[in-house]
Structure 1
């Protein structure tokens, strides 16, 4: 697995490199500090046939990046390689504008490390990620009253309804025994569902799974 990280701040590149290592211990990370260097790296990779990368993670405020047209051109150039944006932008309208250019994820830099890893895992599996704020009422100052809003893709989309019910109760602090009593399931069945939830979310513990629910900003999953 090869990942291209483009950001002009060394601490951000180092942090992302560490998180990519959590995603895949064998991953190779190539770093760029400007948009022109990112393109130069891609030029070299394409001369060898293909993009050579499995994922591109980039900032929006790096030197040489002119605007969203550059982002869209990059997305088209490297397709089907997924492009994820890692940015300080907090405006929902700006986030939507960026996502409309074909990037597969918009990850605010304030996002918890565990969730960043799971978002990247989701993107690598062919999914997409939209910040929870875009699904909240009033997130866009330009949204027309009564206009239907598309439901953002979710990291929980791969779970079955029963798994969502179990995760919901986990997030409420219930034990396996209590979940079984609530759902009318025996203890071994509950344990099987919990294991399935952890595997589907790509996490190693109940605590990490609950953290993803909290980070999603959703009160209930079902």
Structure 2
């Protein structure tokens, strides 16, 4: 997305009424443009390649290829669009898998129109759509489902000590303001460090940063108390 061009969107859902509803809602905004729709994951992959959207609204459960596998395929491509998952349940196990697969966030299907618009804009701008509370729940899933890494990965050697500290705090679910308070620096400084971490590690957003921090062993999840 560049300049004043609208955010280009593909809507993928196996229910026609959902596709039509989201398409109609998004069409009311001058800065949002639905360029394609898809009724299953395979069609979502094709639509993404054909229309080159900025954002794909992706249902988790679809025939032929589910939303998780479609997300994995779409986000593996060069200059991939952001994927925003649509689900009926608040961070269920399928959404967790989708975040690991490369999704930038999730929305419940009963989302309000304004929340939908804001979510698409946030994700298109390169931010992750995960509240700190959701990040902490994602961490809990790592504690429950993932094997504990043996130690930090050489991948993290590209980071400075301060960038490593910032990544560790991002992985703990802290907001930029909370990180700034913890490190006694300005919030803009934290944003700069986060941007550098993402760039150096080749990550799209904070969701991937959380995943990377745990998978490389930088942070070990605490089991529920």
TM-score bucket (shorter structure): 0.5 to 0.7
Alignment of 1:54 with 2:60, yes or no, is no
Q: Which residue is 1:128 aligned to?
A: 128
Alignment of 1:117 with 2:117, yes or no, is yes
State the Cα RMSD in Å.
Answer: 3.4
Q: Which residue is 2:39 aligned to?
A: 33
Alignment deviations for residues 120-159 of structure 1 (CA, whole Å, 9 cap, x no partner): 1111111110256525679946747xxx8632779xxxxx
Alignment of 1:77 with 2:99, yes or no, is no
Q: Which residue is 2:179 aligned to?
A: none
Alignment of 1:20 with 2:26, yes or no, is yes
Gaps of 5+ in 2: 1-5, 145-168, 177-185, 188-225
User: How many residue pairs were aligned?
Assistant: 148
Scaled by the length of structure 1, the TM-score of the pair is 0.54
- Alpha-carbon distance in structure 2 between the residues aligned to 1:137 and 1:75: 23
* CA 1:152–1:3: 2 relative to 1, 3 Å: farther
* CA 1:52–1:150: 2 relative to 1, 3 Å: same
Q: Which residue is 2:191 aligned to?
A: none
Alignment of 1:5 with 2:11, yes or no, is yes
Q: Which residue is 2:173 aligned to?
A: 151
- Alpha-carbon distance in structure 2 between the residues aligned to 1:52 and 1:142: 32
SS in 2 for 1:77: coil
- Alpha-carbon distance in structure 2 between the residues aligned to 1:98 and 1:34: 15
* CA 1:78–1:38: 2 relative to 1, 3 Å: farther
Gaps of 5+ in 1: 46-50, 155-159, 162-222
- Alpha-carbon distance in structure 2 between the residues aligned to 1:141 and 1:80: 26
Whether contact under 8 Å (2:59, 2:87) holds in the other structure is yes
Whether contact under 8 Å (1:92, 1:140) holds in the other structure is no
Q: CA deviation at 1:6?
A: 0.8
- Alpha-carbon distance in structure 2 between the residues aligned to 1:101 and 1:12: 23
Q: CA deviation at 1:60?
A: 1.3
Scaled by the length of structure 2, the TM-score of the pair is 0.53
- Alpha-carbon distance in structure 1 between the residues aligned to 2:10 and 2:136: 32
Question: Could you say which structure has the larger radius of gyration?
Answer: 1
